[in-house]
Amino acid sequence: MNSYIIEQCPPLYIDRLVRRSSIRFSPIDMVSVIFLAWILNSVDAFNDFPSLISANASMAVVIEKSFFDNKADYRDVVRNIYNFIANITREEIHMADIDIHVFRDTKIDNFRDYTVLLSVATCHQTWSLHNIARKDEIVHLAITEQDCPRLPDSEGVSVPLISPGKELSQIFFDIRMADALLWNNVNILHDDTFDRDVVDRVIKAISISLPNKRFNLVSRSLFAFTHGDSKRKRRYYIKEILQNFHVDRLGKCFVVIVTIDAATDIMEAAKMLNMVQPDSQWLYIITETVIGNSTNITTFIDLLSEGSNVAFIYNATDSNTYCNNNLMCHIQELIVALATALKLSLMTEIELYNDVSDEEFEIVRLNKRERHREILKHIKIKLVQDTFVTGGTCGRCLFWRFASAITWGNFFARGKNNAYLIDSGSWFPTLGVNLTDVIFPHIAHGFRGINLPIATYHNPPWQIISLTNSGEKKYSGLVFDVVKYLGKKMNFTYSVLSSESNRTIKFTRNKTKIDMVLTSTTREMPPAIIDMVIGKRVLLAVCAYTVNNCGKNKINFTIPIFMQTYSFLTAKPGQLSRALLFTAPFAKETWACLAASIIIMGPTLYLIHKYSPCSTKISGLNSSWQCIWYVYGALLQQGNMYLPHFDSARWLIAIWWLVVMVLVATYSGSLVAFLTFPNMDTAILTLDALLANKNRLTWGFPNNSYLEEYLKNAEEEKYHILLKQAIIHNATQEMEIIEKVKAGKHALIDWKSTLRFLMRSDMLTTGGCYFSLSTDEFMDEPIAMIIAQDSPYINIINAELHRMHESGLMNKWVTEQIPTKDKCSDIFANQGVNERKVNVADMQGIFFVLFMGVTGSIFLLCCEFYWHKRQVAKRRKLIQPFLS
């Protein structure tokens, strides 16, 4: 093994080996040599491909017979290829060599023992060879026929042999292999000067599925227009085709294959028919060469409109250069690149070998896959160098360039429409497409991170302008949440042009109420902002604005970003008076029954007692009146000590006691409950309840409210009553109205969110909860941003907003900024649960009764005295017969 290595090694390595073995030669050395041999063997087991140092690189050459038109060519190539390659390698790499094995047959199972595969085969055969080569991780260099999808960049290099004038289809194959156009549908427009064959092949290149790629083309349609003899005629034909075009059905992706003058006509027509929009894509293929005096691609700039997506692929072949496009030239090009790559790879390996010990080298050296990648990288670099720097022998035959129009946002950024073109790539037969940017930069990157002006004004919670500690303006609020996200999605930053509004002044003066929104505030927009939008000085006005009909012909609304529902606010229902709490456990009827039963029970008892046989006089039961007191006393569990002697009366009293027990237990149980849970008045929570209470309270809503219009047009009768009796509030009356609502005399109708805000801020200032919000919601008010009428971006902005709605982001922002749960209702619910102490107010009723009782008895006492006196006087007046 050692000797085998020495034979291969460059002098440096041998030197080192010799030095190593000559310094010390001992049995230990022998052991280590054996050990090294063992290591090399065992390491080979998992890195089973020899290093470039220890073995020559090996190349499999596969040449397919059917690739050649005639047999003579084929035999010629096969006979000469070995020497041809050997000669090139000898010239290029001096240190090592390439072992070449030429296969005449294409039926090969594996390339496990090779470093490189060079194939000259038809497209189909190339790809089946490639599948084997990929499995064995070897470098695949392929020369194939034209209209063949190229091997992926990371797996090999393929060169289609293209004859000039027929490269168009290959360009499309290459674009698709590079994943540069991922269209679902495509409309191909071409003029009839093109060869049927050219167009057919382009269509095939666009619409067949590619190896190892997802195929996502759904529809394609083809339109040919007559070139026409004159410019006027041509324009007429073009317009006719575009006018009848069904964008909805056929999609908005266009490939236009034309000559340079027809391209101009189509661009004009498409612009006129409004077919060039931010969501459409126009790819112009300009076939005639534009080098030299012929037309200059920059002339198209004037035809580009704001917000369009236009790209050009144009023929930049310099027809004056010498062009050699034959097979041998390409083979030579590839072999030279391969030889260079192998040399570089070998040099790196030697360097590594010198730096580390043998054992380490075996572990760290590249394995087959890494070597594959490294060699391929060097080959690519060499080919690119050849093409760009030295002009490449075979590659210069054809040269196409890609240009993309940068049109989005230029208007705002510079004040006038000046689009420009950027170079986005190139195409060479050897290298395929090389894109330095995407073909449609705006489709992929939106506004490409430019800074756009937007307009806003202070209107919390929609738009909040605040000052940071460092004195800079900070923008936040709901609409800014939306715009920040929009900016992220559409890739723009913004600078804000703000307008002073009345509200701003009001709120800065009265700082403590900065968060307090008193009434819905999206019905008006400062005229300055509308002017900015109309004058197209801003992309859009980032302001919440109720969708309405003002400025109908100058501005457009985006789709609604938020919906506001209306609701009304009334005073929180108070507790019912607790003065008569002790009567509360029984209903009036119960009390009446109770009183009646006492009054009936008294005489009944008396009668039963009296007519029972052998009735005896018992004190306390001697009259009806006394019996009533007796029954009453029993009710209060103050029983008389005397019981009737007979069972009939006793039975009656026993039953009465039973009744008393049930009554008392029920009463005291309920009384505890009534003391603990306060009894509330019923709240007015629905529209019907509000209307039913129209004699007790008034209602109203802010002036110029959207509600007014809605109610006017409503069909239901109750809305008409609501409107008829409503009081329109002035903006200046806010505080007054709130006090009125608190006092329970008025109901304020406004957005639910505004009312919640109002409740919250009132709670923060007063610490109490004095309002209740209705559960009825009766109208949706759409709120949107505004944008200039002819702005091209309205549709894509709407689409983004729609996505935000669907993903639930809008709801998230709304719940963050606007409280959805009013704390008042929490407090309200918790109140009953808290422990309650029975206070004087709860007991006032019974004290009052006591007072009345005392007063009553004093009165009766007076009456009795009076009556007694009169009796005495009467008796004195009577002349009493003297009885002796």
The binding site for ligand NAG (CB under 6 A) comprises 55-56, 97, 99, 164-165, 167-168, 287, 289, 292-293, 296, 298, 315, 317, 319, 384, 426, 431, 434, 436, 445, 448-449, 491, 552, 556, 703-704, 728, 730, 789, 794
Residue closest to 328 by CA, chosen among 230, 233, 394, 414: 394
Closer CB to ligand NAG, residue 55 or residue 680? 55
Let me know the angle formed at the C-alpha of 247 by 241 and 253, rounded to the nearest 5 degrees: 90
Measured from the CB atom, the residue of 100 and 621 that comes closer to ligand NAG is 100
Cβ 555 to ligand NAG shortest distance, Å: 8
Least CB distance from residue 181 to ligand NAG, whole Å?
18
Shorter beta-carbon distance to ligand NAG: residue 98 or 627? 98
Tokens matching residue 241? 């085709």
Least separation in angstroms between residue 488's CB and ligand NAG is 7
Minimum distance from residue 794 beta carbon to ligand NAG (Å)? 5
CB of 316 to ligand NAG, least distance (A): 8
Angle among Cα 108, 111, 114 to the nearest 5 degrees reads 140
Q: Give me the amino acid identity at 81.
A: I
For the bound state, the minimum distance from the C-beta of residue 154 to ligand NAG, rounded and expressed in Å, comes to 12
The CA distance from 59 to 100, in Å, is 5
Beta strands per DSSP E along 5-161: 57-63, 98-103, 116-121, 139-145, 156-161
Q: How far is the CB of 168 from ligand NAG (least distance, A)?
A: 5
d(CA 435, CA 117): 27
Q: State the helix-helix crossing angle for 231-243 and 260-272, rounded to 10 degrees.
A: 50
The dihedral built from the CA positions of residue 725, 730, 734 and 737, taken in this order, carries a sign that is negative
CB 746 within 8 A of CB 533: no
The helix or strand, by DSSP H or E, that contains position 487, with its residue range, turns out to be: helix 478-490
Q: Which of 235, 79, 166, 616 is nearest to 429 (CA)?
A: 166
Q: Least separation, in Å, of the C-beta of 189 and ligand NAG?
A: 16
Residue 426 CB, shortest distance to ligand NAG, in Å, is: 6
Q: Which is nearer to ligand NAG, 703 or 775 (CB)?
A: 703
| Interatomic CA distance for residues 667 and 656, integer angstroms | 16
State in angstroms the smallest separation of the CB of 795 from ligand NAG: 6
Q: Is the dihedral of CA 683, 689, 690, 693 positive or negative?
A: negative
Minimum Å gap between C-beta 683 and ligand NAG is 27
Spatial distance between the Cα atoms of 44 and 1, rounded to a whole number of angstroms: 13
When the beta carbons of 502 and 703 are compared against ligand NAG, the nearer one is 703
DSSP SS3 for 43 = helix
Specify the residue, 106 or 277, whose C-beta has the smaller distance to ligand NAG.
Answer: 277
Residues 6+ apart with CB under 8 A from 577: none
Least distance to ligand NAG, CB of residue 784, Å: 10
Distance between CA atoms of 745 and 737, rounded to whole angstroms?
10
Of 450 and 643, CB closest to ligand NAG: 450
Nearer to ligand NAG, 449 or 856 (CB): 449
Closest CA to 840 of 623, 640, 578, 643: 578
Residue whose CB is less far from ligand NAG, 203 or 675: 203
With respect to ligand NAG, which residue has the nearer C-beta, 421 or 608?
421
- Cβ proximity to ligand NAG, 166 vs 235, nearer residue: 166
Minimum CB distance to ligand NAG, residue 438 (Å): 9
Dihedral of CA atoms 275, 281, 287, 292 in degrees, nearest 10, equals: 90
**Contact yes or no for 570/697 (Cβ under 8 A):** yes
Question: Minimum CB separation from ligand NAG for residue 310, in Å?
Answer: 17
Nearer to ligand NAG, 51 or 106 (CB): 51
For ligand NAG, the closer of residues 120 and 205 by Cβ is 205
Return the number of the residue (194 or 751) whose C-beta is nearest ligand NAG.
194
Least Cβ distance, residue 842 to ligand NAG (angstroms): 43
Is the distance from CB of 772 to CB of 686 less than 8 angstroms? no
For ligand NAG, give the closer residue by CB, 21 or 703: 703
- Report which of 82, 64, 84 is spatially closest to residue 74, judged by C-alpha positions: 64
The nearer residue to ligand NAG, 530 or 814, going by C-beta atoms, is 530
Q: CB–CB of 725/773 below 8 Å?
A: no
- Closest to ligand NAG by CB, 623 vs 725, is 725
How far apart are alpha carbons 388 and 380 in whole angstroms?
12
Report the nearest approach of ligand NAG to the CB of residue 750 (Å). Answer: 15
Nearest 5°: the CA angle 450, 455, 457 is 140
Beta-bridged to residue 310, according to DSSP, are: 282
Helix, strand or coil, per DSSP, at residue 553: coil
What b/e sequence results for 594-613 when a residue is b if at least 16 CB atoms lie within 10 Å of its CB, and e otherwise?
Answer: eeebbeebbebbbebbeebe
Nearest distance in Å: CB 433, ligand NAG: 9
Q: Which phi and psi angles does 528 have, rounded to 5°?
A: -60, -35
Question: How far apart (Å, rounded) are the C-alpha atoms in residues 113 and 136?
Answer: 9
CA distances from 219 to 245, 280, 573 (A): 15, 16, 66
Count Cβ atoms below 10 Å from residue 772 Cβ, excluding itself.
20
Nearest approach, Cβ of 832 to ligand NAG (angstroms)? 39
| DSSP letter for each residue of 14-26 | HHHHHHHHHH---
Strand boundaries in 395-531, DSSP class E: 400-406, 420-428, 432-435, 450-457, 464-467, 473-476, 492-499
Backbone angles phi, psi at 448, to 5 degrees: 55, 40
Q: What H or E segment, with its residue span, contains residue 727?
A: strand 726-729
Q: What are phi and psi of 563, to 5 degrees?
A: -120, 135
Q: Which is nearer to ligand NAG, 314 or 630 (CB)?
A: 314
The SS3 assignment for 594 reads helix
